[in-house]
Chain A
């Protein structure tokens, strides 16, 4: 495989990883909650896309907004019903709670979908240029992932709700004084995080086999991206996503696919030692 091909593969993976991670990063940054459910959100989004395709023939790209909307609703309800009760508590409490909820989600998904992997096979052909081959579905997923991430960026920067989220992240108490209803912002933020996970999952269904057992793996990748890129900002998640995508692509070729994920984790641990706030860690969500 040519170096250029590996590079392109890494970039395709990276944009998907960025899209997967950006919601998690937002929730961590704003609510100060590590959402262990994020991997299951991704998988759930993937299954929504899969079932819509299989039973209703809905094209996976059309499913992306549907999965996103469904996860938004689920996220909003979960935050209001459960997460919000512990949002001010120490990390041991919040993390254990989302960890427990993830166990529940995992179990229910196994019962509902079984552990056997499924996938959508949709041959859209491939694009070839300068000796680099990219399947069209992957290319489309990459562009869609980047588009979604860009939309989130625009929402954060431009919309009223986005600015309110940024304000809460920077100073919760001041935001309260300014009349922002923090509880609602928390719920919206959590729901947005779930939305991005659902959308990313719906796109993943097109590229990778999906199974409830993969939620842990995706969650791991999301961790890595967030630590690499720093918390709570879109450019950081993009940078982190691309770094992880490239590392996995190159490590997969040169060190063997079984070591690709390990390299990601090692990179993350290494970075935590050098810069405990990530590559682009800074205050404010932009």
Chain B
């Protein structure tokens, strides 16, 4: 266990020092790493620890991106715009969570995918506000590309670090214990005194907040948004896959998954641009068939068996 944290610390040091020695390409790669780490760690709270199969990541990523971008377009300073985006996503996800967390299993999964679709459709058709399919230009951060690269790397890093801290807190705290009970048997959790509704909403909002913050930073970083980029179906699938690749429900799993996934993407996929979706598909097939517990489950110092595939789920009626 300790080796893992040492490796993590080394990785963080490399990442933080990137602007000093790495070129633009590496800084960009590092920023993407942090972005996906934040997303995967966020997803892990609801999808891994709580066991709710959420594919709503892109809905909150996009909501945060648009909220931040629109605030910036309305001349709000960037950090304030990000804060506003986080508040907006927290509120929106709480409302949505109250509604869809009553669903379980397959229905929850379908509901969560529908959220992404609805969000994209709304962003596309509400063109007075969002620019619709024409996209939305976000003010560019002054100070030159290198300065901007550094600012966005550190901003994404901060979001990822916060998500990691939240993951640790959940793992060792009362909320995390409650969420694990829900993951194991929701009715039984209710019976032993877990306020399942409140805990699930807390998990959902936490998970959404990190997606929203990431989205807001992303919007400022790319300085341009359109509905299919902000509410990307690819993103909504990729993020859970990354978390599962490392090990869903574990603290470090999502980070491991993101690093391996992004490294593969950079090394392999950049050479086969037109095969992007296909390679992702093949990777998923390989992951599901040969690595059901994720990479961390291969390690000898496994803390606990990955809590998955325990029994066939009761068909939702």
Interface residues, chain A, CB within 8 Å of chain B? Answer: 28-29, 32, 34, 82, 85-86, 88-93, 95-97, 99-108, 110-111, 216, 220, 223, 227, 231, 256, 258-259, 261-262, 265-266, 268-269, 272-273, 276-277, 281, 283
Contacts and interface: CB of A to CB of B under 8 A. Distances in A.
Given A91-B53, A272-B100, A32 B106 contact: yes
Contacts of B282: 100, 104
A28 B110 CA distance: 12
B317 A100 contact: no
B240 A269 contact: no
A223 B110 contact: yes
B113 interface: yes
Interface string B103-123: 111110111011101100110
Interface in B278-317: 278, 280-285, 288-289, 292, 308-309, 312-313, 315-317
Contact of A265 (B100, B121, B234, B285): B121
17 contacts: A32-B315, A91-B53, A93-B288, A97-B284, A100-B237, A100-B280, A100-B283, A104-B285, A107-B278, A220-B114, A223-B114, A262-B121, A265-B118, A269-B100, A269-B111, A272-B110, A273-B99
Nearest to A217: B117
Given A86-B288, A269-B114, A93 B309 contact: yes
Contact of A111 (B53, B113, B274, B316): B274
A110 B114 CA distance: 24
A283 B125 contact: no
A93 B289 CA distance: 10
B124 interface: yes
Nearest to A95: B109
B201 interface: no
A22 B262 CA distance: 39
Contacts of B292: 89, 93
B24 to A, nearest CB: 29
B244 interface: yes
Interface in B250-299: 274-278, 280-285, 288-289, 292
Contacts of A95: 53, 55, 106, 109
Contacts of A216: 233
B245 to A, nearest CB: 11
Contact of A102 (B107, B117, B281): B281
Contact of A220 (B102, B109, B117, B283): B117
B280 A34 contact: no
A197 B313 CA distance: 26
Contacts of B104: 276
Nearest to A108: B278
A220 B117 CA distance: 8
Interface in B203-251: 233-234, 237, 240-241, 244, 248
